[in-house]
């Protein structure tokens, strides 16, 4: 089993349990930008209770181990559950409970089904604009590259740049957005 097959099994389980989800991270930026390899899969979940997670753990017991220690993600105020595959290498799926961060809540409300070539299936994804905003917010070098790639592939003319600029102002990432826009200008 590879990482994408594992992710698909987790998504099958979430759908069977009726859990609203959204695939984020490198897999979402790969749909809108330039596909790249990743070592893990990130999925945001909307849960009313944790009971569906307990059932998911039972459902996936043959392929993953749920880390019993739930961690707290400070930037977005969400709880994170780590699933480690019983494979070599041990692939990771991270499940983030939808928190109360205003951007994360709005991003989740805007999610849409779309085709993921890496997963070879339709999955719920954030919009291209929300991928850019989140990648700028994280600000790591690979995230900034992902944001640039999504902007370059989708082109600012096809994106809601007002929406992006609004959230960049809130997150104080407007300078990063401007730098990336300057990098991609020749591509337009």
What pLDDT was estimated at residue 79? Answer: 87
Reading the block at residue 109, the tokens are 């409300």
Q: For residues 6 and 48, is the Cβ–Cβ distance under 8 A?
A: no
User: In DSSP terms, which residues pair with 24 in a beta bridge?
Assistant: 42
- Tell me the pLDDT tens digit for each residue of 77-131: 788 899 999 988 889 999 999 988 999 999 999 999 999 999 999 999 999 999 9
Q: Is the pLDDT of residue 185 over 70?
A: no
75 pLDDT exceeds 80?
no
User: DSSP secondary structure string, 54-88?
Assistant: HHHHHHTTTTEEE-S--EEETTTTEEEEEEEESSS
CA separation, residue 59 to residues 20, 62, 188 (Å):
17, 8, 47
Residues whose CB is less than 8 angstroms from the CB of residue 162 and which lie 6 or more positions away in sequence, other chains included: none
pTM: predicted TM-score of the whole model, two decimal places: 0.91
User: pLDDT digit string (tens) for 117-163?
Assistant: 999 999 999 999 999 999 999 999 999 999 999 999 999 999 999 99
Q: In this model, does residue 187 exceed pLDDT 70?
A: no
């Amino acid at each position: 089993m590879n990482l994408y097959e594992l992710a698909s099994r987790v998504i099958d389980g979430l759908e069977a349990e009726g859990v609203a989800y959204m695939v984020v991270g490198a897999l979402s930026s790969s749909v809108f930008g330039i596909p790249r390899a990743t070592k893990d899969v990130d999925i945001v979940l909307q849960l009313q209770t944790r009971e569906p997670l307990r059932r998911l753990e039972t459902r996936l017991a043959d392929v993953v181990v749920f880390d019993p220690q739930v961690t707290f993600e400070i930037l977005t105020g969400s709880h994170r559950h780590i699933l480690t595959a019983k494979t070599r290498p041990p692939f990771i799926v991270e499940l983030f409970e939808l928190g109360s961060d205003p951007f994360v809540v709005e991003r989740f409300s805007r999610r849409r089904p779309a085709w993921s070539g890496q997963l070879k299936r339709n999955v719920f994804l954030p919009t291209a604009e929300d991928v850019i905003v989140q990648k700028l917010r994280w600000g790591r070098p690979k995230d900034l590259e992902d944001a640039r790639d999504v902007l370059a592939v989708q082109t600012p003319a096809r994106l809601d740049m007002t929406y992006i600029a609004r959230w960049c102002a809130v997150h104080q990432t407007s300078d990063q957005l401007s730098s990336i826009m300057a990098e991609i200008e020749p591509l337009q």
